[in-house]
Amino acid sequence: MNNRQADTTDRETVIRIRGLGTVFGDRVIHEDIDLDVGRGEVLALAGGSGSGKSTLLREMIMLQVPDSGSIRLFGAEVVGISEGDAQRLRSRFGVLFQGGALFSNLTVLENVAIPLKEHTGLGSTTISELGMMKIIQAGLQPEAAHLYPSELSGGMVKRAALARAMALDPELLFLDEPTSGLDPVSAGAFDELVLYLKDLVGLTVLMVTHDLDTLWGVADRVAVLGDRTLQAVGDMETLSHSTQPRIREYFEGPRARALPR
């Protein structure tokens, strides 16, 4: 079980969402969502399929615009933000997309170098050196730098994508289903890597996941989405004893993890 401090009262707020609403056609996805993420914490978004987890993440990283409400990153409003201001904010956070989203025609090193080329004026030699550092930091061997995504295992793809997400030394890291498709051993190793990097550089992490082991082992707090709203926010020990049906779904049935003793 994760025993790290979950109280964020005294932490600076890195993400602040107020009154957020999202509508697709005649379908309401989010309704009046309020959520804060404190600096240095790992907050996980959980919920059933179609609850709007990934949609909310896309709105936070400015790939989608909500229909109402406010999203602030580092105190800056992102709803209606100019492209120039958006680019400056993007240099302060990294994103690991589900599946890795690596460019198939580029090597691992070339993939990791993309943010450095886009957001810095560094020379090619320096970019290559920094890229190699990030690849090694993500737990890959140096020779992996010259491989293409098709030559990587699932766990290696996740690590390569994480190296790219960490290229600019972000303050904030977004992870979309980071252990999806991984075997239990690889998933556990990836969880440990996220915690290591979080502690090493003081990262704030917002992740979308349905992996119960990740929720127990990595998240300081979990925000559960369901029925268009935020059902609850709290640490897993508290949520595991909730009587709300949408939350109990995570702790009952053959796939649910037994409560820690």
Could you read off the pLDDT of 212-255 as tens digits, one per residue?
A: 889 889 999 999 998 888 988 999 888 888 888 767 766 664 44
Angle at 153 between CA 150 and CA 154, to 5 degrees: 105
For 30-54, what is each residue's pLDDT tens digit? 999 999 999 999 999 988 887 889 9
What is the C-alpha to C-alpha distance for residues 146 and 108, in angstroms, rounded to an integer? Answer: 6
Mean pLDDT calculated for residue range 129-153: 93
Strand partners, 205: 42, 173
Checking if the pLDDT of 259 tops 50, the result is: no
**pLDDT score recorded for residue 186:** 86
- Which 8-state DSSP code applies to residue 259? P
- Least reliable range by pLDDT among 12-16, 97-101, 174-178, 247-251: 247-251
Question: Smallest Cα–Cα separation from 171: which of 27, 74, 43?
Answer: 74
**pLDDT score recorded for residue 251:** 62
For 49-75, what is each residue's pLDDT tens digit? 878 899 999 999 999 999 999 999 999
> CB count, 10 Å around CB of 35?
20
Strands of the 68-73 sheet, one edge to the other: 27-38, 13-24, 68-73, 76-77
Mean pLDDT calculated for residue range 140-153: 94
- What pTM did the predictor assign? 0.87
Checking if the pLDDT of 261 tops 90, the result is: no
**Is residue 228 within 8 Å of 32, Cβ to Cβ?**
no
